[in-house]
Amino acid sequence: MNHSLFLLTIIIPLFLIGSSTSYDWVLAINSGKSGSDEKKFTEGQWPNIHVSPVVWKDTLFMIGKEFTWTSADGIRWQRRKHDGGWGQRYGSAQAVFAGKIWYMGGMKSWESFSNDVWSSSDGVHWIQVADRAPWTERRGHGALVFNGRLWIVGGAESSGRADVLPRRSLADVWSSADGSTWICEASQAPWSRTFSLNSFNTTTPVHVFNGKLWMVGAPGTNSVWFSENGHDWKMATERAAWKGRYARGSAVFDNKIWIFGGDGLNDVWSSEDGAEWKLVMQNAPWSPRAPGYSVAFRNKLWMFGGKTGKSHDSGDEVWYLKNSQRESSE
């Protein structure tokens, strides 16, 4: 398969206001080239399996129900069967911590959410570190590493019934030195807990940036919060320049925080301090969507799929954003 055929550079000659830096979106994998079913996966396709990608040892990892996918370039993917015993999951959280990949929580069904913790030294062989962590069962939570500890932030709770969707988002913050023993750093952070089913299309938008934890637009809001210790939170801005949204892509890339897309939106914004935001693109070349999962990898910001309609319509393309000036100088 000639994967170079999938590469289509979309040149958007827009510049950040007051900056000479320009950014371009590149279509890395076109529609129809994903493996949306683990059993039907074809070698080389990207695994459209609704899990967050993580970067470990300069390689992208996606962990599914039965298989672990890896990619050195974001385009060509391979898979290996793993021995993780968590079964089918949606909205689980992954992170790289203490030389291992961690897999935590997620949804088995609408009435069955989880709070177990697993770790692996190779992405294939897994050990259950905790059957029931002290944080409540959840999906869509953020997982990251900060101040030498593993963190879990937010997410949503199950309603406990198959016919009733979750009604409550969470605003608690937890940390651990080993993945087994957890400390509640904040039982109720001050950012919004507004719920929307559409917010499940992305993970909780929490990031590490400039030595602080950042919450970038809790569901339905355009407020931005930060914390130096995970316990005390301060507001960077009550109303950022971008419109509040329930589902969005967000990441830290090129020494900036980014937010992009959402229901009916395909705008792109960035900030160097979390308070002042600049419009990078009013309309990106990808169709309006709630971005699926995003990650900074190899000096690019990657976006995998995303929900494009009000039902279950989803895009299965892969795009990445690049700093054009950097590439031209390399």
Residue pLDDT, tens place only, 47-97: 877 788 999 999 999 999 999 999 999 999 999 999 999 998 888 999 999
Residue 327 lies in a domain: no
Amino acid 164: pLDDT: 75
Residue 183: is its pLDDT beyond 50?
Answer: yes
In a domain, residue 108? The reply is yes
Mean pLDDT, residues 220-242: 95
Contact predicate 97/54, CB 8 Å = no
- Kindly write down the DSSP assignment for every residue of 22-69, as one continuous string: BEEEEEEE-TT-B--SGGG--TTSB--SS---EEETTEEEEE-SSEEE
Q: How confident is the model at residue 315 (pLDDT cuts 50, 70, 90)?
A: confident
- Residues 186-214, mean pLDDT to the nearest whole number: 80
190 occurs within a structural domain = yes
Residue type, 134: P
Half-sphere exposure (Cβ direction) of 212: Cα atoms closer than 13 Å: 19
In whole angstroms, what is the distance from residue 157 CA to residue 140 CA? 9
Domain tally, the chain:
1
In-domain check, residue 323: no
| Residue 316: inside a domain | no
Q: How confident is the model at residue 328 (pLDDT cuts 50, 70, 90)?
A: low
Q: Nearest to residue 22, comparing CAs of 241, 266, 254? A: 254
Handedness of CA 242, 246, 248, 250 (dihedral sign): positive
**Sheet bearing 126-130, strands edge to edge:** 93-97, 100-109, 112-120, 126-130
Residue 146's Cβ-side half-sphere holds a number of Cα atoms within 13 Å equal to 25
pLDDT score at 24? 96
Give me the pLDDT at residue 9, please. Answer: 42
**Structural domain harbouring 117:** 3-302
Asked if pLDDT for residue 17 goes beyond 50, the answer is no
Q: What is the mean pLDDT of the chain?
A: 86
> Measured at the alpha carbon of residue 98, what is the angle toward residues 93 and 54, in degrees to the nearest 5?
35
Q: Who wins on pLDDT, 84 or 247?
A: 84
Phi/psi at 132 (nearest 5 deg)?
Answer: -140, 105
pLDDT, residue 119, reads: 98
How far, in Å, CA of 272 to CA of 126, rounded? 38
The residues with which 100 forms a beta bridge, in sequence order, are 97
Region 300-317: mean pLDDT is: 80
pLDDT exceeds 90 at position 238: yes
CATH for 255: 2.120.10.80
- Each residue of 129-174: pLDDT tens digit? 999 999 999 998 999 999 999 999 999 888 777 777 776 789 999 9
